Amino acid sequence: MRRWRTTPELAERIRELIPFEVEHTEKRMFGGLAFLVGGHMAVAASREGGLLVRCDPHDTDRLRRSPGTGPMVMQGCELAGWLRVDAGHVRTTRQLARWVGIGVAYASSLPPKAPKATRAARR
């Protein structure tokens, strides 16, 4: 059985699962590759293996009870509305599709972010 651990392989699998009608961008974030919908991160292929997922903050505790799922921690703080899913729990398309769907659905529910002004426009 092939293990999907590297960021490029996982990123390609995520690309295949984002619905074609959902406009998204890709951006290097957190040392991995993030997929943004409306300027909001939906999911990211983590450099450490596995997935970072954006979710409704009210669903964080419930979703963290899923196997292989834990908190996303930044600067020693757990972030509500963010999850880390171990690489071993996104091996199959079905497993990965669940988390991509959660991230894309939540990011899609947020109002789009305004584009950032370029350096030239700020002068």
In Å, what is the CA distance from 88 to each residue of 4, 67, 71, 116? 8, 10, 16, 36
Question: pLDDT exceeding 90 applies to what percent of the chain?
Answer: 66
Residue 1: inside a domain: no
> Which CATH number fits the domain that encloses residue 73?
3.30.1460.30
8 Å CB contact between 68 and 49: no
Average pLDDT over residues 96-123: 85
Q: pLDDT (tens digit, 9 = 90+) per residue, 46-66? A: 888 899 999 999 999 999 999
DSSP strand E in the chain: where? 25-29, 32-37, 40-45, 51-54, 69-74, 77-85
Residue 42 domain boundaries: 7-122
